[in-house]
Amino acid sequence: MISAAGPNRDSSKDAREQPFWNEHAEFIDRLVEENFIWMGGPFPDDGGSLVFFNAESETEVREKMKNDPWQTYGILKPESIKRWQIFIDPRTSATS
């Protein structure tokens, strides 16, 4: 999922200084523990983010992420969700 800075993001502050940071971090950490989020992080230059999920569908991603406090309070806004297939992963020496 690619997200952009939402209307309530303070562009003068980094991610950890945004409102509702603790609630957002707890929410994301829980999805990582559930193995739903694979990896992700912010775009430091524009306040958006990129997150990779272990999901079967866009609907599943949207349903889980709708409860992210940063979406709820307009710190981030979802822009797009794309299915992605891994062909190269040097961590596992896998190529498809």
Could you tell me the residue ranges of all domains in the chain?
A: 2-95
Backbone torsions φ then ψ of 52, nearest 5 degrees: -105, 130
- Give me 20's structure tokens: 């509702």
Render pLDDT for 5-51 as a digit per residue (tens, 0 to 9): 999 999 999 899 999 999 999 999 999 999 999 999 999 888 999 99
Element containing residue 28 per DSSP (H, E): helix 21-33
* Distance between CA atoms of residues 13 and 42, nearest Å: 13
Render pLDDT for 54-95 as a digit per residue (tens, 0 to 9): 999 999 999 999 999 999 999 999 999 998 888 888 887 656
* Distance between CA atoms of residues 56 and 83, nearest Å: 9
For the entire predicted model, the pTM comes to: 0.85
Just give the CATH number of 2-95.
3.30.70.1060
With the C-alpha atoms ordered 8, 63, 4, 30, is the resulting torsion angle positive or negative? positive
